[in-house]
Amino acid sequence: MAAAVPLSGIFIAGLPMGKIVKGTELDLFVEKLAFGGKGVARIDGFVVFFDRAVPGQTVRARIVKKKRNYAEARTIEILSQSPHYTPPQCAHFGMCGGCTWQDIAYDTQLYWKRRHVIECLDHIAGVSEAGVEPIIASPQQYHYRNKMEFTFSPRRWLLPEELEGGDARTPEDLFALGLHVRGLFEKVFNVRDCRLQSPLCVEIVKEVRDWAEKSALPAYSVKTHEGFWRFLVVREGKNTGQTLVHLITSTHPRADEVAGALSGRLASRFPEITTLIHSVSDKKSQVATGDSSRVLFGPGCIEETLGDLRFRISAHSFFQTNSRGAEKLYDKVLELGAFDGSETVWDLYCGTGTIGIYLASRVKRVIGIELVEEAVRDAVENCRINGIGNCSFLAGDLKDVIRQASGLGQPDVVVTDPPRAGMHPKVVKALLEAAPRRIVAVSCNPASLARDLSCFLDRYEIQAIQPFDLFPHTPHVECVIRLDRRE
């Protein structure tokens, strides 16, 4: 083979540029991280994306997909290590689809998350980077998640130690409860370690897995849509020590009997579990929710505290995943709202009412809107728990009920915290018609945030942009932006 020839800082092992095809192996220098988390290298301006890369590494990569303007590659060997590399703590790193940035130093993670906010706002909304504040780090880098979802599967992805052990069984014979393999959503491996949620959560997962495998009932198959065991969700009050376990199964004549027996086992084994819910779902979609639910023990919910406030969280309710980071986020919303006590505030996509309740003592009135009825019930209960009487809530799809909110009071300030897809165009239109003097936009997706912002910039001016890291060791970044109406 010809010697490696340098080309614009990239090394190609004796291969002309025009001959790069699927299967070609290249030596590449990782320049940066793209939005979404992939590494980026260039060959005379031609972009190559690849997983499992740290900026500053030189890697040997194999092209797995070739397009006209870019290629995708898979790293097969690290030739020189990056100064931004840090050894991952989790034994499942590289296989798990969860914390894919765990081998990147935390300060480097923060740098690239802020850069991704800047790039999205610039490219999509034409917003200058000058106003983007330094990113606020998570108070905890590990064990910060208050909720994790785990999936049952009848076809386990074998761990390296299982393959080395020469297990004669095939994956079709192997029961699994764990997380999805990176890039393979239908594949599940048995979790034995996790640095995102607590050690208690991992022990609960192990216990449920062992017990369920011995139950003689099969795990649910995404191919045949048959099987009993579907999902296990563990939620924790990081500031209260309360733990909720949510078991989701398919319909079965023995469902109540089996779930009840497992509930008794967990109650005796883990006194830290304060409530357990069993839900049944026969939907084909792989979503960890139930069509019907029953409480097997405990109150059916847990509580979490943010500042001096207490919040009730049910099995299906949305709550910020990083409790201690959420408190910092809500403090910033309170600051950017610049409230004087006279305002009517709309809290859109309000979940269990956390943001609105957090603001309630500083404003005249809060009107919250949320799709999930169970979350709205929690929001009402959260007001009662905290002695708050100036909040009201509407349940329904925001695009359909937002105009009903006008009958309760026109907004002076609107706070939005939509899902990753951003706001529906009907919601954007209704907000422009309502014309609040200020909008505080919270988002977990800078791309959809930038798209939504572009609809408001003719009438509103950006006053502040504050990124937050609520998801260490992942590419995800939260952001809060204040918009003031142009007078």
What is the 3-state composition of the chain as percent helix, strand, coil, each rounded to the nearest 5?
A: 25, 30, 40
Q: How far apart are CA 359 and CA 366, in angstroms?
A: 8
What was the pLDDT predicted at 458? 94
Which among 287, 303, 313 has a CA at the least distance from the CA of 374? 313
For residue range 208-246, list pLDDT tens digits in order: 999 999 998 999 999 999 999 999 999 999 999 999 999
Among 244, 273, 306, the domain boundary falls at: 306
What was the pLDDT predicted at 286? 87
Q: How far apart are CA 126 and CA 234, in angstroms?
A: 41
- Evaluate if residue 104 carries a pLDDT over 80: yes
- Evaluate if residue 6 carries a pLDDT over 80: no
Calculate mean pLDDT across residues 81-97. 93
What was the pLDDT predicted at 169? 57
Which among 147, 156, 235 has a CA at the least distance from the CA of 192? 156
Least-confidence region, from 10-14, 19-23, 66-70, 160-164: 10-14
For residue range 390-427, list pLDDT tens digits in order: 999 999 988 888 888 877 889 999 999 999 999 999 99
What was the pLDDT predicted at 17? 52
Q: Residue 178 in contact with residue 213, Cβ under 8 Å?
A: no
What was the pLDDT predicted at 68? 85
For residue 101, is it within any domain? no
Calculate mean pLDDT across residues 469-482. 97
Among 252, 284, 306, the domain boundary falls at: 306
DSSP 325: H
End-to-end Cα separation, the chain, in angstroms: 69
**CATH, residue 362:** 3.40.50.150
- Number of separate domains in the chain: 3
* Same domain flag for 297 and 323: no
What was the pLDDT predicted at 124? 93
Identify the sign of the CA torsion 142, 143, 149, 154. positive
For the chain, give the percent of residues with pLDDT over 70.
94
Distances 349 to 108, 394, 442 between C-alpha atoms, Å? 32, 10, 10
* Same domain flag for 355 and 389: yes
Which among 25, 169, 234, 188 has a CA at the least distance from the CA of 95? 188
Residue with tokens 């990176």: 182
- Evaluate if residue 80 carries a pLDDT over 60: yes
> Which one from 120, 194, 444, 479 is the annotated catalytic residue?
444
For residue range 133-152, list pLDDT tens digits in order: 999 999 999 999 999 999 99
DSSP 219: B
For residue range 313-367, list pLDDT tens digits in order: 999 888 899 999 999 999 999 999 999 999 999 999 998 899 999 999 999 999 9
What was the pLDDT predicted at 172? 53
For residue 435, is it within any domain? yes
* Same domain flag for 123 and 170: no
* Same domain flag for 358 and 280: no
3 state SS of 423: coil
The secondary structure of 242-308 as a DSSP string is -EEEEEEE---TTHHHHHHHHHHHHHHH-TTEEEEEEEE---SS--S--SEEEEEES-SEEEEEETT
- pTM value is 0.90
For residue 339, is it within any domain? yes
Among 306, 333, 351, the domain boundary falls at: 306
Token pair for 480: 């809060």
For residue 171, is it within any domain? yes
Beta strands in 354-472 (DSSP E): 365-370, 391-395, 413-416, 438-443, 460-468
Q: How many residues does this entry show for the chain?
A: 487
Domain range for residue 375?
111-140+319-485
- Evaluate if residue 2 carries a pLDDT over 60: no
Check residues 440 and 216 and name the one with the higher pLDDT.
440
* Same domain flag for 12 and 72: yes
For residue range 169-197, list pLDDT tens digits in order: 555 568 999 999 988 878 899 999 999 99
Per the DSSP assignment, residues forming a β-bridge with 394 are 369
* Same domain flag for 325 and 468: yes
* Same domain flag for 326 and 475: yes
In the residue annotation, 444 being an active-site residue is answered as yes
**Rounded to the nearest 5 degrees, what angle is found at the Cα of 174, between the Cα atoms of 168 and 175?**
160
* Same domain flag for 155 and 16: no
Give the distance between the most distant pair of CA atoms in the chain.
77
**CATH, residue 163:** 2.40.50.1070
* Same domain flag for 75 and 133: no
For residue 216, is it within any domain? yes
Task: Identify the H or E element spanning 199.
Answer: helix 199-213
Residue with tokens 């880098």: 141
